[in-house]
Amino acid sequence: MLYPERLHQLTKEHADTLAALVCGLFLFCGWFALHFGFLGWALLLLPIAYVIGGYESAREGLTTLIKEKELDVDLLMIVAALGAAGLGLWRREYYLIIDGAILILIFAISGALEGYAMRRTERSIQSLMSLTQDTARVVRQGKEEVVAIAQLQLGDEIIVKPGELIPTDAVILEGYSTLNQAAITGESLPVEKTVGDEVFAGTLNGYGALKLKLHQPPESSLIQRVIRLVQQAQTETPPSQQFIERFERGYALVIVIAGVLLLILPPLLWNWDWETAIYRALTFLVVASPCALMAAIMPTLLSGIANGAKQGILFKNGSQLEMMGKVRAIAFDKTGTLTTGVLEVCEVIPLSEYTQEYVLKSAASLESRSEHPLGEAIVKAAKHLDWTPATEVQAFPGQGIIGIVNHQEVIAGKYNFVQNYVVDLPQNLIEIATKFELQGKTVVWIAQKISQQYHVLGIIAIADTVRSQAAATISQLKKLGIEQIVMLTGDNQQTAESVAWDLGIDRVYAELLPEDKLHVIRRLQQEYKTVAMVGDGINDAPALAQASVGIAMGTVGSDVALETADIVLMADRLEKIEVAMRLGKRAQAIVKQNITIALGFIILLLIGNFLGDINLPIGVVGHEGSTVLVTLSGLRLLKN
């Protein structure tokens, strides 16, 4: 059962569709009455169809005329329809009134279709809004209480039970669970989360109860940023649409002047009768109006934005969707973009008398007392092994660490640091370590004191690992026609070139400051015109702003990068860049097709009108039919 409030909301949302349906009903009843000779009923019903179907267009057209002193398509259609009705009454050819009503009906149907396209894109926001919670269950002074999201404070402890939505971005204090993040990141599989992991508002908790700690204001949550970005994308008009709208205003004035000349000159110069001149002028107003041209772009771009949002790609506006189809060169930041931004142990090389397990356990015992990122990577790699933290630990910042592990003194650190304790470092390990370093990996040496002498146990190679999908993405981008793929990084040249070689990147610019990245983007734009930049950090923000299209990693990206970028990849999945490019190219192709169809129909109908081969109903069907056609064509982008 529909409550009055819900019924009112549905009526308001679909007012354009309802107006078209009621207009069609009265038009049919008017035609039926006229066909069977009930002229009085026909002259009552048909004006009602005019008013219901044409009210919104007349209101918008008059508002534009009064406030902006400009003509638009809406007013042209109303004038043409009223002209047809007036001519029908004058000549007592009442079917001309029906012709005018048909014009208004099809114009109303076209408007309803455009409204449908807009509502489909708005659903992306509504679906996101439905993921936001109004309240959260918090623990304060040892008691659970339910508070409004807006009343949450930093440091609040939040309880989330199995099957509930995460109310706001937070960090897990206690518990383990799997979370469905598909609505936020586009990932199809649930993600395991445990203590220390960040969780996002709007994601669905699985089987485990969680205690969370609020570490940022609720309004800064990922879901709220997404909603703001999608809303911004809907309100901004892309350059191509702005051009069409400016063209429409001038074009409408030209059409009116031409219509007046067509009305006046033929009777004076070629002895047309006035009724024929009026009829041809009205038909001209209909077929020459750029309705289809106006519908050629925006429904397509809005559909593309909605499609991207479903796949975890947020376009801030339609112009960036257009621009993605024109990109000729792409620059990638390295750390956190092409790589995960997280250090991991990639190799453990022991001396022959020791095992990998022993070397890793000895290093983890020491590094568990360190806060260095290299130490964290070693401890993470050894979490499945059985070891105890070292005692009497002494750290030498930037060099290494010494401590007691199982009653033996163990050291871990750089080559030069360990060399101070070990008399002869094995030559084969030195060669392997040099090879690792050439590959951009950091090498940690491990040694242990045995019988008053230090002996090397082995080495551990640590690196910021390349994203698994990076190489395949770059290969696909080249197949899509990208002429140059560049890597920008603040790392040293050797490390950068090693990563670039593995991924098939064309050019490398290393040891860059933020302003250096900006200068590189400018040089690339001089060479390739349309350049995209992909990054995640604060140091990428200037380059993201300068690029023709700035693309930010949504999960690991800094707030500055997310605000500066034009496109956000919600799941940090590089392969989505290829999807965004395909969407952009497809949008471009559909827009070109739509413009061709719209101009083709206008030209054919104009020729037919001047040759006298079409009447007003055919002109109406041809003109408004093309508008409906290009609108439906634009909606194709809603499908993947």
What pLDDT score does 123 carry?
A: 56
Task: Answer yes or no: is 320 within a domain.
Answer: yes
Question: Residue 442's CB: how many other CB atoms inside 10 A?
Answer: 17
Cα(331)–Cα(565) distance, rounded to whole angstroms? 14
Whether 379 and 451 share a structural domain: yes
Residue ranges of the alpha helices (H) in 206-342? 222-235, 239-269, 274-288, 291-294, 298-310, 318-324
Whether 473 and 331 share a structural domain: yes
What pLDDT score does 247 carry?
A: 63
What pLDDT score does 484 carry?
A: 94
Could you tell me how far CA 184 lies from the centroid of its own chain? 12
Radius of gyration of the chain (CA): 34
Question: Residue 556's CB: how many other CB atoms inside 10 A?
Answer: 16
What pLDDT score does 233 carry?
A: 45
Residue ranges of the alpha helices (H) in 69-94? 73-91
Q: Counting Cβ atoms within 10 Å, is residue 2 exposed (0-12), middle (13-18) or buried (19+)?
A: exposed
The CATH number of whichever domain residue 181 belongs to comes to 2.70.150.10
Task: Answer yes or no: is 90 within a domain.
Answer: no
Task: Answer yes or no: is 499 within a domain.
Answer: yes
Could you tell me how far CA 296 lies from the centroid of its own chain? 21
Catalytic residue of the set 72, 156, 333, 464: 333
Whether 458 and 499 share a structural domain: no
Task: Answer yes or no: is 328 within a domain.
Answer: yes
What pLDDT score does 478 carry?
A: 93
Task: Answer yes or no: is 36 within a domain.
Answer: no
Whether 328 and 394 share a structural domain: no
E-strand stretches of 328-439: 329-333, 339-350, 391-396, 400-405, 408-413
- Give the domain-ending residue among 432, 465, 498: 465
Whether 395 and 321 share a structural domain: no
Task: Answer yes or no: is 345 within a domain.
Answer: yes
Task: Answer yes or no: is 228 within a domain.
Answer: no
The CATH number of whichever domain residue 459 belongs to comes to 3.40.1110.10
Residue span of the structural domain in which 404 resides = 340-465
Whether 454 and 563 share a structural domain: no
3 state DSSP class of 439: coil
The CATH number of whichever domain residue 535 belongs to comes to 3.40.50.1000
What pLDDT score does 6 carry?
A: 44
Instruction: Select from 193, 197, 191 the least CA-distant residue to 215.
Output: 197
Task: Answer yes or no: is 196 within a domain.
Answer: yes
Single-letter amino acid, residue 251: Y
Token code pair at residue 555: 């999960």
What pLDDT score does 8 carry?
A: 44
Whether 504 and 406 share a structural domain: no
Cα(122)–Cα(632) distance, rounded to whole angstroms? 17
Cα(418)–Cα(411) distance, rounded to whole angstroms? 7
Single-letter amino acid, residue 45: L
Whether 502 and 451 share a structural domain: no
**How open is the CA angle 134-201-197, to the nearest 5 degrees?**
140
Active site (annotated) includes residue 333: yes
Residue 564: C-alpha distances to residues 13, 315, 534, 561 (Å): 33, 12, 11, 5
Ranges of the chain whose pLDDT falls below 70:
1-14, 70-73, 110, 113-132, 181-190, 222-252, 398, 537-539, 555-564, 612-613, 616-617, 620, 640
Count of structural domains, the chain: 3
Cα(541)–Cα(558) distance, rounded to whole angstroms? 9
Whether 441 and 507 share a structural domain: no
Q: Tens of pLDDT along 538-560?
A: 667 778 888 888 898 876 555 55
- Give the domain-ending residue among 410, 430, 465: 465
Residue 104: C-alpha distances to residues 12, 82, 255, 422, 524 (Å): 20, 10, 19, 92, 51
DSSP characters for 528-586? HSSEEEEE-SGGGHHHHHHSSEEEEETTT--HHHHHH-SEEETT--THHHHHHHHHHHH
Q: Does pTM surpass 0.85?
A: no
Whether 477 and 434 share a structural domain: no
Whether 370 and 456 share a structural domain: yes
Question: Residue 383's CB: how many other CB atoms inside 10 A?
Answer: 8
Whether 369 and 322 share a structural domain: no
Question: Residue 409's CB: how many other CB atoms inside 10 A?
Answer: 16
- Give the domain-ending residue among 465, 480, 498: 465
Q: Tens of pLDDT along 305-328?
A: 888 887 888 887 777 888 898 999
